[in-house]
């Protein structure tokens, strides 16, 4: 099995490199990666073998729990003819210097995917490893999720320009990567988050710069209704991310009025799509009738994790 023209083009640019954050890529890079993911998705659907990573191993380090990331990476490696090795915090010495872990794993495996807390941990791993490092979520970002989200948007809307995305909820890792991905691809982003839960101002500023290049807008508000008005896409995520420590009751109070429910989504376009990276808490950030309603594409997003990550793996490794 050999690489397609597009696969070769991507490999030429990215082989051996890391996948750490969405802002490292141009609109052309992301377009190529998404198109390559679609090629691999079609091959999988048509049962065409594509064992591009035969004999290769991906170490998958998880300091936080996961359903989608774990299963999609492991399955993706298998479909590519390689092997995904699950390493939870109970399995390996995560109290060892991260630089030592990087150097040791580089002697055994061909790539590392890591889900961890601080972004600096992923960066330190990357600095010390001689193999590609893939960010499987940090407190600051979730680039694999956003690649899957962009593919899902394209599959449902057939374009990236002239679209309005409303993000309603917590200014967290997913939202930070999402607004960057949208800004690069040219999707207008309206972000409604409660006071004290805003997206980092440095991220907003960087996204606004990228949006300028693509002709899009990144607009912050505290009013969910303003964000959702005439939106093509409504996106939310949990109000309490993994690793957050604090008082749940006071947090629920802060997010009052930010639930994506029928009263809110009726202000969007009739053919809006509802998105959520999952896992979701029905009755908190999203009402059951919205996430389980006909405009919801959450399971397409979850499926597309597999296809986009295969494109990333085949390209880097
Ligand atoms: N969306 C996502 O990353 O899900 P998991 O936490 O289940 O991996
Ligand atoms: N913001 C969520 C995303 C989970 C995939 C978290 O970090 O817990």
Which amino acid residue places its CA nearest to atom 1 of ligand 1? 277
Contact, 199 vs 167, CB < 8 A? Answer: no
Ligand 1 centroid – CA 68 distance (Å): 5
Which amino acid residue places its CA nearest to atom 4 of ligand 1? 68
Residue span of the structural domain in which 26 resides: 5-142+305-316
Same domain, 129 and 176: no
Same domain, 152 and 24: no
Question: Which of 62, 64, 67 to mutate for ligand 1's pocket (most ligand atoms within 8 Å of CB)?
Answer: 67
List strand residue ranges (DSSP E) for 118-217, in order.
133-135, 164-168, 188-192
Ligand 1 centroid – CA 69 distance (Å): 5
Same domain, 119 and 197: no
Q: Is 148 in the pocket of ligand 2 (CB under 6 A)?
A: no
Q: What's the CATH code of the domain at 31?
A: 3.40.50.1370
Same domain, 148 and 106: no
Catalytic positions, please? 115, 142, 145, 237, 277, 305
Same domain, 156 and 294: yes
User: pTM of whole model > 0.85?
Assistant: yes
Same domain, 96 and 221: no
Same domain, 97 and 173: no
Ligand 1 centroid – CA 1 distance (Å): 30
Q: Could you tell me which of 69, 44, 56 has the C-alpha nearest to residue 16? A: 56
Same domain, 47 and 61: yes
Q: What is the pLDDT along the chain (317 residues), one digit of tens a residue?
A: 789 999 999 999 999 999 999 999 999 999 999 999 999 999 999 999 999 999 999 999 999 999 999 999 999 999 999 999 999 999 999 999 999 999 999 999 999 999 999 999 999 999 999 999 999 999 999 999 999 999 999 999 999 999 999 999 999 999 999 999 999 999 999 999 999 899 999 999 999 999 999 999 999 999 999 999 999 999 999 999 998 877 888 889 999 999 999 999 999 999 999 999 999 999 999 999 999 999 999 999 999 999 999 999 999 99
Q: Could you tell me which of 188, 113, 187, 169 has the C-alpha nearest to residue 143? A: 113
Which amino acid residue places its CA nearest to atom 2 of ligand 2? 241
Please give the tally of structural domains in the chain: 2
Question: Which of 62, 65, 137 to mutate for ligand 1's pocket (most ligand atoms within 8 Å of CB)?
Answer: 137
What's the burial of 309, exposed, middle or buried (CB within 10 Å: 0-12/13-18/19+)? buried
Same domain, 15 and 67: yes
181: number of Cβ within 10 Å: 26
* Sign, Cα dihedral of 88, 92, 93, 98: negative
Same domain, 289 and 188: yes
Q: Report the atom number in ligand 2 closest to the C-alpha of 174.
A: 1
């Amino acid at each position: 099995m050999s690489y397609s023209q597009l696969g070769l083009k991507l490999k030429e640019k990215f082989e051996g490199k890391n996948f750490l954050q969405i802002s490292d890529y141009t609109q052309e890079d992301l377009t190529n990666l998404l198109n390559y993911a679609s090629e691999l998705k079609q091959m999988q659907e048509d049962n065409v073998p594509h064992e591009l990573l035969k004999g290769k191993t991906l170490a998958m380090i998880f300091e936080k729990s996961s359903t989608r990331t774990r299963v999609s990476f492991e399955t993706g490696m298998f479909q590519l003819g390689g092997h995904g090795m699950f390493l939870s915090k109970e399995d390996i010495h995560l109290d060892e210097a991260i630089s030592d872990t990087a150097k040791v794993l580089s002697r055994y495996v061909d790539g590392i995917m890591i889900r961890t807390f601080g972004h600096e941990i992923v960066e330190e791993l990357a600095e010390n490893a001689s193999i590609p490092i893939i960010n499987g979520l940090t407190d600051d970002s979730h680039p694999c999720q956003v690649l899957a989200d962009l593919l899902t948007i394209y599959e449902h809307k057939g374009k990236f320009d002239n679209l309005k995305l409303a993000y309603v909820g917590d200014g967290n890792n997913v939202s930070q990567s999402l607004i960057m991905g949208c800004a690069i691809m040219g999707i207008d982003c309206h972000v409604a988050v409660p006071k004290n839960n805003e997206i980092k101002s440095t991220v907003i500023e960087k996204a606004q710069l990228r949006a300028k290049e693509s002709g899009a807008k990144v607009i912050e508000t505290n009013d969910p209704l303003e964000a959702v008005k005439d939106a093509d896409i409504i996106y939310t995520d949990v109000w309490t991310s993994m690793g957050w420590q604090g008082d749940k009751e006071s947090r629920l109070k802060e997010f009052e009025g930010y639930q994506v429910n029928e009263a809110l989504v009726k202000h969007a376009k009739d053919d809006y799509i509802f998105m959520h990276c999952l896992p979701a808490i029905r009755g908190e950030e999203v009402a059951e009738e919205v996430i389980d309603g006909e405009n919801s594409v959450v399971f397409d997003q979850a499926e597309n994790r597999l296809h986009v990550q295969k494109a990333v793996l085949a390209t880097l490794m």
